[in-house]
Amino acid sequence: MAVAAGVPTLPAVVEELLSEMAAAVRDGAPISDEHLLSLKFVFGSSAVQALDLVDRKSITLISSPSGRRVYQVLGSSGKTYTCLASCHYCSCPAFAFSVLRKGDSLLCKHLLAVYLSQVLGTCQQLSVSDKQLTDLLMERTQDA
Amino acid sequence: MAETLRRVLNSGSAAGPAEESTAEAGPPLLLLGGPGSGKTALLFAAALETAGEGQGPVLFLTRRPLQSLPRGTRAALEPLRLQKIRFQYPPSTLELLRLLCSAHEARGAAPSLLLLDGLEEYLTEDLGPQEAAYLAALLVDTAAHFSHQGGPGQGCGLIVALQTQEEGDSGDAQPLALLQRYFPAQCWLQPNASGPGQHCLRACLEPGGLEPRAEWWVTFQPDGEMTVTQWPTQAGDTGSHKGSSSEGQS
């Protein structure tokens, strides 16, 4: 439901899979093997890595009093990546290469982890000031 | 966002029924055309259209101040509408990014429409694909934040104008393909045969999703007046022919 609200960015089959998983979670059921296999089928090795990020609670939803939100994902290498909440964007190199340049992936593992943590309701939450959120968004542009 | 542009274009043509304004902002729209193809005039008309709907203000971003106010189809430059259009002139890519990153710090009513004219001026050569994607994504994110701020029924639309390469120049299609990820709706302005003194264009709107494409003639008179007429063959759309011709130029 909360997945990619607004701008349709994911293929219908992925949206469907995620909302099925969300429905299962709401009913208190564990994620079925069938869903896991589907994830693996659509996203390949990224699926396992993304689930690993979710397990380690590496996804943080950062929000400010203004209501603006952004996700941060602590990657396995210890680096932190920024994912926008409203559309597909992640600051990691894999997103730049496989998604933007080559176009052979739908998502990087960080974005997938964000969607999965939304579905599973396992995001860490952090409140910051409006100014701090600006700095966080600007960080991306300084090392450019 | 195609709806606002559709209303702008329809309001100029007798055939176009006066459509009810919809609160639905629709997907972000990219307005594409060569130099002098009337992109700014259309953006400005969209700003006036939205400013008159009893909605929030319009935020109009452009690198250079407008030299003159484009003459709208209604030629109705009501002061009350103009007052609701807030112009900002980020002088560099960094300043534009700063403005978008800090948009949530601004006080006052959330804009109902975010416009950026001349995106090409900010897509400088030292901007890599990922930075260009970040700029596009931040535009979408800023409009999404304004929508959220405005509350239900007060969505914020997004229209960005980008100057396309001159014809014959086989510039790489990479930036455009990248931008299309973030702007599902597109409107192409293509030059057509121009009469003496006047300038005629074909506006082709592809709203994205399942919506049908629509076309108009846009004519600029020597004095800058813009007139719009609906493309006559809209009903009997021969998709294959037109489709192939526009793809060839994209």
**Distances in Å between the alpha carbon of A27 and those of A16, A23, A30, A87, B143?**
17, 6, 9, 28, 34
Interval B13-35 mean pLDDT: 65
Of B94, B98, B148, the CB nearest to A67: B148
Residues B146, A6, B210, B160, CA torsion sign: positive
Is B129 within 8 Å of A68 when comparing Cβ atoms?
Answer: no
Is B149 within 8 Å of A140 when comparing Cβ atoms?
Answer: no
User: What tokens appear for B114 in the block?
Assistant: 């975010």
Provide ipTM, 2 decimals: 0.88
Pick the residue from chain A with its C-alpha nearest to B155: A6
The C-alpha angle B136, A9, B237, rounded to 5 degrees, equals 95
**B124 has a pLDDT exceeding 80:** yes
DSSP H/E element including B6: helix B2-11
Mention every residue, 6+ apart, whose C-beta is less than 8 A from residue B177.
A103
Chain B residues touching residue A140 (CB < 8 angstroms): 134
**B8 has a pLDDT exceeding 80:** no
Interval B28-43 mean pLDDT: 90
Q: Residues A1-54: pLDDT tens digits?
A: 333 333 445 777 888 888 899 898 888 888 889 999 999 998 888 999 999 999
Distance (Å, whole) CA B144 – CA B28 = 10
Cα end-to-end distance, chain A, whole Å: 34
Pick the residue from chain A with its C-alpha nearest to B126: A144
Cross-strand partners of B229: B217
Is A138 within 8 Å of B98 when comparing Cβ atoms?
Answer: yes
Chain B residues touching residue A144 (CB < 8 angstroms): 127-128, 130-131, 134
Distance (Å, whole) CA A61 – CA A66 = 14
pLDDT at residue A55, rounded to an integer = 93
Interval B59-86 mean pLDDT: 77
Taking the domains of chain A in order of start, what are their residue ranges? 12-142
Is A96 within 8 Å of B129 when comparing Cβ atoms?
Answer: yes
> Reduced to 3 states, what is the DSSP secondary structure of residue B163?
strand
pLDDT at residue B154, rounded to an integer = 81
pLDDT at residue B60, rounded to an integer = 96
Interval A118-142 mean pLDDT: 90
- Write the DSSP string, A32-56: PHHHHHHHHHHHTHHHHHHHHHHHT
- In this prediction the pTM is 0.85
**If you search the block for the tokens 């969505």, which residue do you land on?**
B155
Interval B155-179 mean pLDDT: 77
pLDDT at residue B171, rounded to an integer = 52
Chain A residues touching residue B128 (CB < 8 angstroms): 96, 144
Taking the domains of chain B in order of start, what are their residue ranges? 2-16+25-249
Please say whether the beta carbons of B147 and B156 come within 8 A. Answer: yes
B2-16+25-249 has which CATH code? 3.40.50.300
pLDDT at residue B174, rounded to an integer = 63
User: What tokens appear for B33 in the block?
Assistant: 């055309």
pLDDT at residue A51, rounded to an integer = 93
Please say whether the beta carbons of B249 and B191 come within 8 A. Answer: no
pLDDT band at B43; cut points 50, 70, 90: very high
Interval B34-57 mean pLDDT: 85
Interval B60-74 mean pLDDT: 76
Please say whether the beta carbons of B246 and B188 come within 8 A. Answer: yes
